[in-house]
Amino acid sequence: MAATASIALIIRADPLTSAVPVEALRIALGLAAGENPITVILIGPAVRLLAEESDEIIDLEILEKYLPSLEHLQIPFLLVYPSGPPPDLQEGFAVTVGTIESARQAMAAADRVLVF
């Protein structure tokens, strides 16, 4: 039996201007269905993926389809906020607020790193 490899999936693209962040969350959900532990790191504008106010997110209907599963599986999210006030976040997710340094540490500790 193969050993499991931990995964850090970093999303830094802006979900208001690109469909990539929502697609990255879909990929994270697929990876979480396997045996490999995964941490999703949202950096800067990508933090909006878990915001209460999400009406302007590209592919919002797809995001809304996947968020309940991400919440149910309690996939850990590490959030690195952009400058300015943080958005109000949806409740129920396994969220830790971190810094760029804590994101670097999470990436260094992972066996695999995916960046979007």
Count the alpha carbons within 13 Å of 55 in the hemisphere toward its beta carbon. 1
Q: Give residue 2's pLDDT band: very low, low, confident or very high (50, 70, 90).
A: low
Helix, strand, coil distribution of the chain in percent, nearest 5:
35, 20, 40
Higher pLDDT, 49 or 3: 49
Residue 3 has what pLDDT? Answer: 63
- Domains with residue ranges and CATH for the chain: 7-115 (3.40.1260.10)
For the residues 77-104, what does the mean pLDDT come to? 92
For residue 89, give Cα distances in angstroms to 8, 35, 109: 21, 28, 26
For the residues 33-62, what does the mean pLDDT come to? 94
Q: Is 74 left (phi over 0), alpha (psi -120 to 50) or beta?
A: left
pLDDT in tens, 17-42: 999 999 999 999 999 988 889 999 99
